[in-house]
A = this chain, B = another copy of it.
Amino acid sequence: MKQITNKIEGGVCAPKGFRACGVHCGIRKNKIKKDLALIVADKPCAVACVYTTNLVKGAPISVTQKHVADGIAQAVIVNSGNANTCNADGVEIAEGMCDLVERHTGIPAQNVVVASTGVIGQKLSLDPIASGMDELVKSLGNNSSAAAEAIMTTDTVKKEIAFEFSLGGKVCRIGAICKGVGMICPNMATMLMFITTDAAISSAMLQRAISADVKDSLNMLSVDRDTSTNDTLCIMASGLAGNREIVSANADYRIFKSALHAVTSALCRMLAADGEGATKLLECKVTGAKSKKDARLAAKSVIDSPLFKAAMFGKDANWGRVLCALGYSGANLAVEKIGVAFRSAAGETVVCERGSGVDFSEEQAKKVLSEKEIVIDVQLNDGEFEATAWGCDLTYDYVKINGDYRT
C-alpha cells in the first residue's frame, strides 16, 4: 500500500507530539546499561493496550489496566532489570513509579502507563527510580533510541521503527520501540512494545485495530513458547497530524491498520532475529490452508519446534521435523498434499512434495540454510488461506543465556 511505504527515522518520537528518553538509574548494577525509559506526549492521547494472557501477571499490568480504563494516557514509564512480578508489594511500587512521573512532569498518575521487564520474583526498590527521575525528565526530547536502549534485557540490538502514511491528504506518522527476546510466545500481546502515532483515532478504534493486528503479528512470533508474565503492547495516538478522527471502520481505518501492521510485522522480524542466542531468523509461510486458523496453527507449530529450530542452527535440511510439527499443530490438513521448500538469499530447495520426500542436493540445501534469514515455505494445497510466523534457531547460546540468567 503506497501510503505506508515511507520508512522514516525517529521511532516513537517520529509522530508529532511525543518526546522520549532513557537513562541508567541504578536498577542494574552495570552502569553502561540504561534501565529506565520515559515517553511523554504533549497532550492527553487516545490509548489502547493488550496484555499477556498469563495468569501470573506483572504488577505493572494491573496498574496500567486501571490507568487506561478511560481510554486516555499521556506518558509511559518503563524499567528493565526487574519485572516487578510475584512481589507482595508490586502494585504499590508500580503506583509509586506513576506518582514519580506526576511529581516530575505534572502529568496525572492516572494518565501514566507503567511497565517493567527483567527477573521475576525479586523485590524492586523505588529508590534508584526516584533518584533517576530528574535526569530522565531533563533528557526528554527526540531520544527514542535512548528509550529503546533502556528497555532492553537480553536483547542484543535496540528495536525501533517508524513509517509515514497519509489519511485524507494529511501526512500521519506511526513509530514504535520494543524489546524481547526470551520468554517470547505472545498470546494476545507480547513482551513490551510501545507505539505512538499522530493520527487522530478514537481509543475504541485504536483498541479494535491492535486487538485485530496482534493475531497476525505478535501472536505469530515465538522464541521459546514461554508466554511472559509482563507482555504489554501499548499504542498512543496524539491526533496532531490533523486528519479527520477515525471513529468507525472506514477506508481511513483500513489504511491506519496497514500502517500499524507494517510497524508490528517489522518489529516481529527484528524480535525473532534477535531471539535469545539466535543466529537465524526463521519465517514460516503457510499457504493453501482450509482456514485462517489452520494456517496460523500450522505456521506457528513449525517455528515452535525445538527439534526443527536446532536443525536450522545446524544448517540441516531435516524437513521431516517440519512435517512432524505440522502433524501435531492441531491444524486441519491433508498430509498427502503437503509441499515444503527452504528458501533464502542463496536460492530455494524443494524437499517434500505430496507429503513425501523428493531427491534434493544436500550441498545446495546447506547453502540455502547457511544464510541468516530462512523462509520455510509450506504449501498445504488444501484451501485458500495463508499465514506467516516468525521465530529463530535454537542454539548453544540460548542455553547459556538462560542457564544462569539471574547472576
Contacts and interface: CB of A to CB of B under 8 A. Distances in A.
A61 to B, nearest CB: 12
Nearest to A53: B328
A82 to B, nearest CB: 11
A319 interface: yes
B121 A226 contact: no
Interface in A324-373: 324-328, 333, 335, 351-352, 354-357
Contact of A120 (B53, B229, B324, B395): B324
A100 interface: no
A323 B121 contact: yes
A350 to B, nearest CB: 13
A292 interface: no
A319 B55 contact: no
Interface string A390-407: 000011101111111111
A143 interface: no
Nearest to A277: B399
Given A319-B121, A402-B307, A403-B313, A357 B86 contact: yes
A394 to B, nearest CB: 6
A402 B314 contact: yes
A54 interface: yes
Contacts of A307: 182-183, 224, 226, 402
A86 B320 contact: yes
A188 to B, nearest CB: 11
A303 to B, nearest CB: 13
Contacts of A403: 310-311, 313-314, 316
A356 B87 contact: yes
A400 B313 CA distance: 9
A217 interface: no
Contacts of A56: 323-324, 326-328, 335, 355
A191 to B, nearest CB: 13
A314 B404 CA distance: 5
A122 interface: yes
Contacts of A121: 319-320, 323, 351-352, 356-357
B399 A183 contact: no
A407 B316 contact: yes
Contacts of A119: 318, 320
15 contacts: A54-B324, A55-B326, A83-B320, A88-B354, A121-B320, A182-B307, A225-B304, A226-B306, A226-B321, A226-B325, A228-B324, A229-B327, A306-B402, A310-B401, A399-B399
Given A187-B328, A314-B403, 11 more contacts: A56-B327, A86-B320, A121-B320, A226-B306, A226-B325, A227-B324, A306-B398, A310-B401, A311-B405, A314-B405, A399-B399
